[in-house]
Chain A
């Protein structure tokens, strides 16, 4: 029918959308609806998928702006607060506070998890999408990280394998940020733990490099003309000569 064609053109007609529509229909049923118009259901499903993508995008951006590639609890909480700020919530003046517990948006979420009945998905277990790569083990052989497998499939194969510093780091008692989050105590990250992490991340090697490094002089342009003069005066040509030494 013509109506169906028009509706399908606006919504994303792919597999994940269809699955999401089933889930949304189940939620509608649990509220009390006996049926739904197709355009309404599809619009609601569209909103659900966009909301999920928005949470993911905001939390990823929040992590990136803090210099991390992997999001953590605070990123997600900040994302949820941002999205809930459209209609407002109690305690919104206190966004991004140290304690996630403070904002009403998160507290509503906790109440929902606690008190609402759980409804399992109607369909049997779904095929796991292979491109996500989350939860796959990194391919580590001979203390090197090899690409083109699992999580690192996007990295070109011709790049050399990376030596891992994980073993040495563990000997010195350093803890990677991601690993520390997997432990239960990671949630208790207060000022005490922050100081601990900062002292652990302090690398003695870095200080040695800073001390040992000598002066490096660059000459740009006609080398012959400016020979003997340590400053770089610019000029034409693209050559440079390194005059450094340790």
Chain B
């Protein structure tokens, strides 16, 4: 990629890495993640990602899925609630604020004495 060639690395080590990488990329072709191809293609194209190699598109997908799973491992309840999600996301640096409740009027819930009538 750059002009840096590191001759210190043994060729055998790199060869093993490369074979493992080749296997991984080959296994990606069999992998059918939950997010479909067309959807991934759409989002990649929208962000200016250009690549004729479909394997690399497949590679972007597991990353998203892994991300989702990691976030959800934090709070394992039956129903995904906003509170749990915002707590889990805070560790990733994402601040999700959500209103706790909605009121009909600005004076709802106040003492009757302070309400204007």
Contacts and interface: CB of A to CB of B under 8 A. Distances in A.
Given A35-B80, A76-B59, A129 B41 contact: yes
A98 B9 contact: yes
A37 B82 contact: yes
Query: Interface size bucket, A side?
Result: 35 or more
Given A191-B7, A194-B5, A56 B48 contact: yes
Question: Chain A: interface secondary structure?
Answer: helix
A53 to B, nearest CB: 4
A99 B14 contact: yes
Given A37-B82, A71-B49, A71-B50, A118 B40 contact: no
Interface of A: 2-3, 16, 19-20, 23-24, 26-28, 30-37, 39-41, 43-44, 47-49, 51-57, 59-60, 63, 66, 69-74, 76, 80, 83, 86-87, 98-102, 108-110, 112-114, 116, 118-121, 123, 126-129, 131-135, 178, 181-182, 184, 187-188, 190-191, 194
14 contacts: A31-B69, A43-B82, A43-B85, A43-B89, A52-B60, A56-B60, A63-B50, A70-B50, A99-B14, A100-B21, A101-B20, A108-B66, A109-B63, A112-B65
